[in-house]
Structure 1
Amino acid sequence: MSLTFGSLRSTAAKQASKESLCNSERMQTSNLEQRGNKLQVICSLGNEIFEESCSFSISGCATFQVRAINVENNNTLIFVRFFKNCQEDGLTYSITLSSDILSIVKKTLVSDDGTWHLIKEGNLLPDLDISIVMDTVHVSSFEALYNDTELTDFELRGEDGSVKVHKAVLAASSNVLRRMLSGSWRETTEGRVDVPGTSVQTLQQFKDYIYLRTLPDTGLEQILLLASYYMIPSLEQKCVNKLMSSLKAQNACDQLEFAVKHKLTRLVLAIFDCVQSGQVDVTEMRQHFLNYQDNICE
C-alpha cells in the first residue's frame, strides 16, 4: 500500500513532536554568530531522512534547535524547538525567528516543554539561514502612570536624590517589595526606602524599566544589582542580555569577577555560555588577564 505525501507529512510531524529520533543524523552548521540574546547560523541540509542540528544555548537560559525531515520527492519539513534550560526560573521567553531562504520574517515562538514546531515545508535550498532574537515575555505595563505625580505615594532614595513611584507598581513588580510594603516595616510608614550606594540616575533607570520596560545602554551593572536584590528575574535577564551583547575578551574577566563577587548566577552562566560558544576567545581572555596582572605588579 502506497503512502500519499499528506500521510507521510502527518506521520513525520507526529514523529518530530517526540523528544528524540533514534536515527537522526547531525545537521551541519556554519557561520555561527552568537552575541547575548541573538543567534545567527547557516544550517545545511544533507541527504538523510532525519537531520538535527546541535543544541544552541542562548544566554545560558534557553535552548534552540533545528530539525529537518526529508519526506518525499525532496519535500522537506523544517521544525524548530525552543525551551527553557531551567523550568523553575520564573520567566517565560520568546524568540523572533527570521530566514530569507525560508521566507520567514519575525515569526514568534514562546518557550515550552521542548515540542517541535513545523515552520516550513517544500523543496528547499540546501543552506538555510536562521536568525533569532530572544526576549522575556512581559504581561503588563504601567506606562500610563509613568509621568503621574498626583498618585505617587512612595520614594526610592539614592545617594544623591530620590525618585517618586507608586507602591502598587512596586508591589506588582517585585515580591520582595510587596512584602516590604504590605508589612509593618519602617519604610512603609515613612513612605520611602533608602537604597545605599545607588545613584538617583540608577534609580530612575530602575523606574524606567518597571514602568516602561526600557533599559539604557550603560550602567547596567548597578541596575542588575537592584534586580537581583529585589528579585526581579525579568530585569536580571534583560540586563544580562545587554551585557552579553558587548562582551569581549577585554572585559570578560572583569564581568566574571563582578558576577562572582555579587553572586549573580545568571551573569556567570551567560559568560560561560559565551566562552563555550566561541563568542569570546579564551586565548585572548588569558592574554588580557596576564597583561592586567603585569600592570598591577609594576
Structure 2
Amino acid sequence: MTRTVYVNGDYLPEDEAKISIFDRGFLMADAVYEVTSVLDGKLIDFEGHAVRLKRSLDELDMAEPCSKDELLEIHRKLVELNEIDEGLVYLQVTRGSDGDRDFVFPSAETPPSIVLFTQNKPGLADSPAAQKGAKVISIEDIRWGRRDIKTVQLLYPSMGKMMAKKAGADDAWMVEDGFVTEGTSNNAYFVKGNKIVTRPLSNDILHGITRAAVLRLADELQFEIEERKFTIDEAKQADEAFTTSASAFVMPVIEIDGAQLGDGTPGPVAKRLREIYLEESRKTAI
C-alpha cells in the first residue's frame, strides 16, 4: 500500500510529495524533527514531543507551522489513513524557502515547511533486539554544541551507527572530554546495585522525552537516580546498562567496547523499566 504523507497542508501519496530544492532543510539542515511512536493505533508521549518541538523551534528562532491541536490532528489522521497499529510518525519542520540559496535567513514572512510521514513497524513493542540486548562501542563525539536542539544534522550519528556495524556492534556511545554524552540516537545509562546513573541535562545532550518518563518510573520504583557525567570504564564495570529513545523505548545494553555486562543478557532493571514503560505508555496514549 502506498503511504499517505503530509506536506505543507496536503495529504498526498508518497510518490507525489514534493519539497523545493531551495528548502533550507535540504540545503542547510536548517530543520528540526520529532518521532512519535504508535502502539495500538495511539500516539505515545505526544504532549512531550510537541513541547520539545516548540522549544527546538524557539531556540532557532523558527516559526511554528501550526498549532499543537492541528499537529495532533495531522498525526492521528496519518495513523488512520496508513492503518498504523505499531509504528512511528516522523515530523520535520524547516525554515522554508525563499527561492534561492543564501546563508542569511529568509525574511520572517517566509512560511516554514512541514512534512510528516508514518513508518509501519509491526512488533515494535516486542522487539527481538530488546530481548537479545545491544552491543555498543565508544566513539569520539564531534557534533556541534547544541545537541539539546533536535535538528536534522544527523550525519555524524549516522556515521557512528555505521562504525558500530563495521565493528560487529549495534550502536555507539559518544564520548567527549572523557565522558559519555549519549548514544547515536538515544540517552545512555548504567546500573550499579540500586543506582541508575545518567548524564544530567544540558546543551550537551538531547532532552529525551522517553528519558524523562523512564526516570520518573525508576524513581517511583525506588531506584536511586544519579545524574552526573560518567566514563566508558565506569559503564564497563556496571551490573547492566541501557538506552532510552522514542523508537526503541528501553533497550538493554549487554556489551560495551567488547566488555560483557553481567552474564551477557539483558539485566533485570532494564527489562523491568521497559515493561513498565510500555504498560504506562499504553494507558496514557492518545
TM range (shorter): under 0.3
TM-score of the aligned structures, taking structure 1 as reference length: 0.25
TM-score of the aligned structures, taking structure 2 as reference length: 0.26
Larger radius of gyration between Structure 1 and Structure 2: 1
**Structure richer in helix, relative to its length:** 1
